[in-house]
Structure 1
Amino acid sequence: MRLFHSSLVFISVLIAWFAVSNLGLVSAFLLPSPQRVWSTFITLLSNGKLAQHIGVSLGRVGAGYAIAVLLALVISLAMINWKALARLLDPPMEFVRQIPPLALMPLLMLWLGIGETQKIGIIILACFFPIFLSFRGGFAQVDPKLLEVGRAAGFSRMQLMRRIAIPAALPAMFVGLRVGLGYGWRALVGAELIASAAGLGYMILDAQDLARTDIVLVGVLVIGIIGLLADSGLKALVRWRFPWLRQEMELPHA
């Protein structure tokens, strides 16, 4: 039923777009027709340019997301286990969390240069905090009685985390993983704003300078489709690897 409703909305939007553009209600410069956007998509796909841009962007988002997940896991576990560290890190992390990642772009350019490190750094900042907050919240909600049982069984601190805390926190953790993945794709265009020669964000910005609205729309739609596929893949991973979570949590839309 959900798939039917989603398809109905998609078809309705496509029909409205077709009607508005083909009836001349909006300038073709501002809103190219679906036929033109499709033709541009096929051209970019056939000449290999779109595949190149997608590959570069996937590498950047993938690297930034993976590093953000690792940092969020390590820091959240450390703050849960050492309260003094949590008191020390809470104020500066809360301060940085309020700053949009793109606002830090000038500083990252100065500190990291204008190469790949700066671009991945922006994506890390965009992904990190929703993942970190969900990890930390999930660990904080672990039933203390479960941990006591583990201690009574002679588990080390590492075993407590690996066998009890992380499995118990998985529902909250996967919500953060989904949200963080979405934030990474949202930060992509800004990350590729400076000194890029490839990537979907670069393609969109370059098309804007050339007044190629059709290419802009292709880039936007491709980012949306890839983000949707990545989110669906993450949900499929949850259902396959952790089947019990289907009964414990309802994954909301990011």
Structure 2
Amino acid sequence: MSKKIIPSLLLPAILLLFWQLATMNHWVSAYILPSPAKVLDTFTLMLKNGSLLVDTAISMKRVLIGFSLSFGLAFILGLFASIAPKTQVFYHYLIELMRNIPPISLIPLLILWLGIGEASKIIIIILASFFAMFSNIKKGLGQGNQQLLEVGKSLGLTTRENFFKIQLPNAVPDILIGMQIGLGYSFRAIIGAEMIASSSGLGYLILDAQQMSRSDKVIVGILILACIGSLTNLFLTKLIRKFTKGANFDDSHTA
């Protein structure tokens, strides 16, 4: 086992031990905090009857659709902003205004306009993830290595070839960082949306379990979210490291 993994597992192990001791010695009511064994039994049961897989798949589908649409829109507008930076004066303040509006606050209005179907949830995900991706895509495409671009022109590369061979590869790390942040925002947004206006998904599972006083189900839902978020974050982190390996890249980014 890697020497880096052992220290990172130490604190979770201590918390798990404290959790077990707290429930075993009745320091906390089992109604409020069920034991780790109870949570594990509930997870196994929900896995066997398929309810957990169904809700997880529904939430993941919504996130995938909303995040993909958001990325496409952010890439197009980010590309336009890098090509024609002077046009930003027309939309900069509108984007900054929308950035500071919590997407969850728009749910009541979206329900009035679109109902509680999939469209309102997809729009919430787009609003939550768009701005981080747009800022990083614009930064990556707009801060390309001008010397390399000039070399490309001197070698006879067309504008299109310069973009795909030099500008876009140079922007990949920033784009991936934007995707990493945007994906995290997407998960937060969809869970909030499902808690308010849905009859399925992990957010609905957590809220329904809370209303039924099933703390064990609530914890299962939270842990599933934590695992999914950690795995996707780890995947994108590895991609970022792969594309920035050996490069003089500033990993500061806009959240």
Aligned residue runs from structure 1 range 199-238, under 5 A: 199-238=201-240
Structure 1 residue 69, shift from structure 2 partner? 1.2
Note if 1:57 corresponds to 2:56: no
Match of 1:135 in 2: 137
Q: Is the 8 A contact 1:120 1:191 kept in 2?
A: no
Which amino acid in 2 is paired with 1:99? I
Aligned residue runs from structure 1 range 92-171, under 5 A: 92-171=94-173
Q: Is the 8 A contact 1:79 1:85 kept in 2?
A: yes
Q: Is the 8 A contact 1:80 1:86 kept in 2?
A: no
Q: Is the 8 A contact 1:114 1:194 kept in 2?
A: no
Q: Secondary structure at the match of 2:37?
A: helix
Aligned residue runs from structure 1 range 13-92, under 5 A: 13-92=15-94
CA–CA distance in 1 between the matches of 2:246 and 2:184? 24
CA–CA distance in 1 between the matches of 2:8 and 2:251? 17
CA–CA distance in 2 between the matches of 1:181 and 1:74? 18
CA–CA distance in 2 between the matches of 1:166 and 1:4? 38
Q: Secondary structure at the match of 1:172?
A: helix
Structure 1 residue 15, shift from structure 2 partner? 0.7
Identical columns (%): 39
Aligned length: 250
Structure 1 residue 250, shift from structure 2 partner? 8.7
Structure 1 length normalisation: TM-score? 0.91
Q: Is the 8 A contact 2:128 2:186 kept in 1?
A: yes
Structure 1 residue 83, shift from structure 2 partner? 2.4
Could you give the per-residue CA deviations for residues 54-88 of structure 1, whole angstroms, max 9, x where no partner exists?
Answer: 11011011111111111111110101111243221
Deviates more, 1:66-75 or 1:104-113: 104-113
Structure 2 length normalisation: TM-score? 0.90
**Unaligned stretches of 5+ in structure 1?**
none
Match of 1:187 among 159, 175, 189: 189
